[in-house]
């Protein structure tokens, strides 16, 4: 009968071939996802219930003791606050600045391609090179920033400035990526809307708030979610900019940095795994809240 569901073995030879070839094509991605993501996540969760010495040696089951220690550890709470502060600075500023750059470079101006390339360059630069250049810029004795501002501030060794100095590097390095996404979103907006608004007497500011922002909201939401997740996982900038003897390290280290410290330096992978599991659920919670909130401001039609 028409509309009747097919049984497991009632597919035609062509349908079976399409099914098998489809799975064959996605098999590398599925294997990569399982081996590189799912299995490590499961192992990390399991390891968080153990007290471990070196990797794979001396594992002792301790139940929820690691979680109790994490929630009572002042260093963890300080790292969490550092991570949240970094996200609160990096995410909004990187989105606003990159959006303004995208709007500016979406117009037909001389040298537009060159400007786009220059802004995107930090995305392809080696992280080690970026860290070396910015350590020189921030140097309190002969750094270019202090020279221009006629100041003598220890940007990366003073606890008052260290975290925000690293956030500036994070903002600078991600502008090009965000800008490209916003440019793609802007070019999808039909020009007829702006022409109709101009005929009706709308100003550029009115068009921005009533046409550009609403129609660009899906792209803004995507950038927001990805940047929040990335900022909560910040590690490389802190690791490369701050050395272990830096007096401001305690006010700068993130949760992922603590994971590295406990797992690879202190050789306590159980406690390090617990930190990662807590961060994973925190990231999941924040993402779910964003998914719920986006229903009120993101316009898909």
62 alpha carbon, distance to own chain's centre: 33
Give yes or no for a contact between 86 and 254, defined as CB atoms under 8 angstroms apart: yes
pLDDT at residue 53 is higher than 90: no
Per residue in 208-248, pLDDT tens? 999 999 999 999 999 999 999 999 999 999 999 988 888 88
Q: Which two tokens stand for residue 159?
A: 């606890």
Q: What is the mean pLDDT of residues 282-289?
A: 95
Query: How far is 196 from 192, CA to CA, in rounded Å?
Result: 6
Domain extents in the chain: 13-61, 69-296
Interacting residues of 76 by C-beta distance below 8 A, sequence separation 6+: 70, 255, 258, 275
208 alpha carbon, distance to own chain's centre: 27
pLDDT given at position 6: 52
pTM of the full structure = 0.87
Can you identify the CATH homologous superfamily of domain 69-296? MetI-like (1.10.3720.10)
285 burial (CB, 10 Å; 0-12 / 13-18 / 19+) is exposed
Query: How far is 113 from 105, CA to CA, in rounded Å?
Result: 8
Q: Tell which residue, 210, 217, 209, has the closest CA to residue 181.
A: 217
Query: How far is 225 from 289, CA to CA, in rounded Å?
Result: 10
Secondary structure letter of residue 50 according to DSSP:
E
């Amino acid at each position: 009968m028409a509309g009747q569901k097919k049984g497991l073995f009632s597919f035609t030879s062509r349908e079976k071939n399409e099914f098998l070839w489809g799975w064959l094509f996605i098999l590398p991605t599925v294997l990569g996802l399982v081996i590189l993501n799912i299995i490590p996540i499961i192992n990390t969760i399991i390891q968080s219930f153990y007290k471990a010495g070196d990797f794979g040696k001396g594992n002792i089951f301790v139940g929820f003791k690691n979680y109790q220690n994490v929630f009572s550890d002042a260093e963890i709470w300080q790292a969490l606050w550092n991570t949240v502060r970094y996200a609160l600075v990096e995410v909004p500023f990187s989105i606003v600045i990159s959006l303004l750059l995208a709007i500016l470079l979406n117009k037909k101006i001389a040298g537009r391609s060159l400007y786009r390339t220059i802004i995107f360059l930090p995305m392809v630069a080696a992280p080690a090179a970026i860290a070396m250049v910015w350590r020189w810029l921030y140097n309190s004795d002969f750094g270019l920033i202090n020279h221009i501002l006629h100041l003598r501030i220890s940007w990366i060794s003073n606890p008052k400035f260290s975290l925000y100095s690293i956030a500036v590097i994070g903002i600078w390095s991600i502008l090009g990526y965000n800008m490209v996404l916003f440019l793609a979103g802007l070019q999808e907006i039909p020009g007829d809307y702006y022409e109709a608004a101009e005929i009706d007497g709308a100003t550029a500011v009115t068009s921005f708030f009533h046409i550009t922002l609403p129609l660009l909201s899906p792209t803004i939401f995507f950038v927001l979610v990805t940047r929040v997740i990335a900022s909560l996982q910040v590690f490389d900038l802190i690791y490369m900019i701050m050395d272990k003897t830096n007096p401001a390290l305690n006010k700068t280290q993130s949760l992922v940095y603590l994971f590295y410290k406990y797992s690879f330096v202190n050789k306590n992978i159980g406690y390090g795994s617990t930190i990662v599991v807590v961060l994973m659920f925190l990231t999941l919670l924040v993402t779910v809240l964003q998914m719920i909130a986006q229903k009120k401001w993101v316009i898909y039609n």
